[in-house]
Amino acid sequence: MENTTPPPDSAEPTVPLPLTLDDIYTHKIFDTARLQQPHWMQDSLRFSYIDRAPESETYTLWMYHVATGARTVILPEAALHLAPEDRMEPSPPKGEDEKKAEPEAPEQARKRSTLSIPGYQWSPDEKRILIANLPQRRASQGDLALFVVDVEAQTVRRVTPERHEYRNAKWSPDSQSLGYVRGDDLYRLDLATGIETRLTATARAQVYNGRLGWVYEEEVELADGWDWSPDGRQIAYFQQDETQVPQVDLPNYDALHMTPRATRYPKAGDPNPLVRIGVLDVPASGEIAPVPETRWIDLGADPDIYIYRMQWTPDSSQLLLQRVPRLQNRLDLLRADPHTGATTVVLTEEDAAWVETPGEVTFIEETDQFLWLSDRSGWRHLYLYDLTGKLHQAVTTGEWDVERLAAIDSAHRLVFFTAGRPSALERQVFQASLDGKEITQISTGRGCHAPLFAPGAAHYLDTYSNRSTPPETTLHRTNGDTVATILANPMPKLQGRRFGEWNFTTFQTSDGVTLNAALLYPTDFDSTRQYPVVMYTYGGPGSQVLLDSYGSGGGLEQWLAQQGYLPAMVDGRGSGMRGRDFKKITYLKLGDYEVKDQIEGAKWLGSLPFVDAARIGIWGWSYGGYMTSLCILRGADVFRAAVAVAPVTHWTLYDSIYTERYMRRPLDNPDGYATTSPLTLTDNLKGKFLLVHGTADDNVHFQNAARLAAALQKGNKPFQTMFYPGKHHGIEGVSLHVFTLITTFLKENL
C-alpha cells in the first residue's frame, strides 16, 4: 500500500503526446490481446486455443506443446471452407417492419462459406471438436447449426441439417453423441447414424427444459440447465416455468408500429420462476426411441425457492443440489437419489444477511471428500467435507478472503486457489495442503493473477497484470517457476506516450473506518496547483473498483489527467475481499453506507492541498449510476457535478433475485426501499446532473431513468439527459458518442 504523498513535481515538465477520445474508443489504443479460450488437454502437456491462421485474418484452432514450446495448427484454414451443403442459409427477413430480402453481398457469402469459431469443445476422447457456443444467453441467438471437426482427418462437418437455435450443446461422455436444447426441449443426436432422439416433450410457452430464463442467467449465473451423468447413462436437467412471471415489453423504435420485445422479468416482490429438477435415462444409441420418462427430484414443500447449482457426483450415483429459499439467507446442499428422487441435507449454510453460492463443489479424486467455500468465520475460506456432511477441517484460515478455488492435486492432497492477500487490491495464487497446515504463495509480481491449471495441477497458465502492466499470459510449473511466455502485450499503439501514475492509498472516515482509495497523478503534476477531481464509482455488494490490475487500461482516466483533472476512486463499505462484516453491513439498506463513504472520500480529497474542493464530480454506470444519483442528492454540498448512466432509481424496479438478496422483499422492508431511492430525494439537487440510459436496456429498464426524470421535472429541478434508442445496458456501438457526452458535460461543469 502506497502512502498519500503525491509524486514530486516534474522538474522539467514535458507535454505528453495528446490523447484523444477517438484514440480510446475508435482506434482502441488501450485494448489488449488475450489468449482466447485456452483449454488443457488430458495429458497436461498441451493446451489448445483460438488464434488467427498463419498469414490470415481467419481464426482457427491451435495447439501449444509444453515440452518443446512448439505451436501447431489443429485445423488448417482450408478446412474451414465449408462445402455448399454445410453452409448456413441466409437469415430470412422477419417481422412486419423488416426489409425484404436483398441479393446477398459477396462479403456475406464469403462469411457463410467459412466456418467461424465462437467457441469449441473437445470430445472426451479428444478425437473430435464441437464448434458451438456454451453457455448461451436467451438474449442472444443460439447456434443455428452445429459443426464437428475430425482432428485426424482435418475435416469439418455440419451435423444438424435443419436451421434451428441449438442451445447448451455438449458431448456425451462416450464421445459418440451430442446433447442440446432445441425448442426448449432436450435432444440427443447420435453422430454415427444422424438419429435425433427427443428426450423431453413438456416445453411450452414460458416453460423451458435444459435452459433458464433471464433472471437466473443474470443473477445466479446459470444459463446451462442440463448435464450428462459421468457414465453417460442419465441426464439431469432444470425445468423452469415462467408463466407466472410478469412480462415486460421493451420498446422497439425501429419497428414502424413499435412492436415491443417481450421478456419475462420478475421485479422485487413479483412471482418468481418455478424450478424443478428432472432425471431421465438416456436411450440406447443408434435406434429411434420414445421420449423417456422423467423422474422428479423432491425439492421440499416450499416451491418459492432457487436452485443455485446442480451437479453429479463423480461416480454418477447421486445428484448434488444447492437449494436456497427466496430470502437467500440459507443454503442447503442436498444429496439426491436420481432413481427415487429422495433428498437428504448434507450441510447447511445460514447467515443473518445473505448466503452466496460456493459454485460447483470440487471432489478429491477417488474419495467422497469435497471442498466448500464459506464466509462463516467472518472471512471467505475453504473447508473440507465429505458427503455424510462431516467437516474434516478448515483448509484455509486468517483475516483475508479466498477468491476462488483454482485446482486440486489429489495425488499430493494439495489445493490451489487465488486470494486477496497480502492486500484486497491483489489476487495472488496460493498452494495449501488439505490438512490446513501449510499455505505457500506461488505467484510472483504485485497485482492480479488469474490461473488456469492443467489436469492434476502439473502446470498452469497465469494471466497477470497490474495498473501499469498490461496483461500477459505465462506458463508455469506448479511451484510457480516460469516455463515460457505464451502471450505478451507490447502495446505498440502506446509506444512513445507518457501517462500518469496511479497511487493507491488509504484514508479514515469520520467514524474511524479505513478505506482504500486511489488517485491518478498527471505526468506534469504540480503540487502548487489546485486540481478538480473526477471520481468513478460502482459500489455494488462485493464489488471493487480498486484492483491493482490493468483492466481496460484506464484510457478515460488518462485523458482526464491530461485535461487537468485528478481521477480518483474509493472502495467504501460493502465492497469485496475485506471480510463478511465489511461487505454485508449494507444489508437491508443498499446505498446507505456506500454513498456515505463516497461522500467521505470526496471530503478527504477536498482536504488535500492540491485539490480544489469546490470542483469535485462523480460518475458511474449501472449500480454506479445509482450511487452517483444518490451522491449528488445526499452530497449536494460536496459534489458539483454527477453523471449517472443506466441507474437503478428505486429497488422496486429491479429484479427479484438481486434486490431481495440484499433488501428482502418490498413488503418486508418498506422503509429500506423508500429511503434508499433517488426518487425520494430529488428536492436536494443543487449541482449539475446528467442522466443517461438506453431505451432497450433489459437489465436496468429505461423506466428507472424515466421515473427519475419525471421526479426532477415535477420538482422543477434542472438537469441534462441523453437517451440511446435501441441500446442495451452497455449502450453498445456508440462509445465515442457516450464518452464525448460525459466528458463535455464534466468539462463544462467542473
Residues labelled as active-site residues: 622, 697, 729
Residues 6+ apart with CB under 8 A from 94: none
In the block, cell 485456452 appears at: 38
Whole-number Å distance between alpha carbons of 554 and 524: 18
Q: Which residues pair with 332 in a beta bridge?
A: 323, 348
How many CA atoms lie within 13 Å of 57's alpha carbon, on the beta-carbon side?
A: 2
Please state the length of the chain. 750
Please name the residue ranges forming H helices in 487-592. Answer: 555-562, 580-584
Q: Residues with Cβ < 8 Å from 333, sequence gap 6 or more? A: 320, 321, 322, 345, 346, 347, 348, 361, 372
Largest Cα–Cα distance of the chain, in whole Å? 83
Cell, residue 621: 454506470
DSSP 519: E
- 497 by Cβ neighbours in 10 Å (0-12 / 13-18 / 19+) ranks as middle
**Which residues are CB-neighbours of 577 under 8 A, at least 6 positions away?**
400, 401, 403, 420, 424, 544
* Cβ neighbours, 10 Å, residue 4: 13
- Residue 422 preceded by cis peptide, ω within 30: yes
**Distance separating alpha carbons of residues 728 and 700, to the nearest angstrom:** 9
Give all strands of the β-sheet with 428-433 in edge-to-edge order.
Answer: 402-409, 414-419, 428-433, 439-441
Determine if the peptide bond prior to 18 is cis (ω within 30°).
no
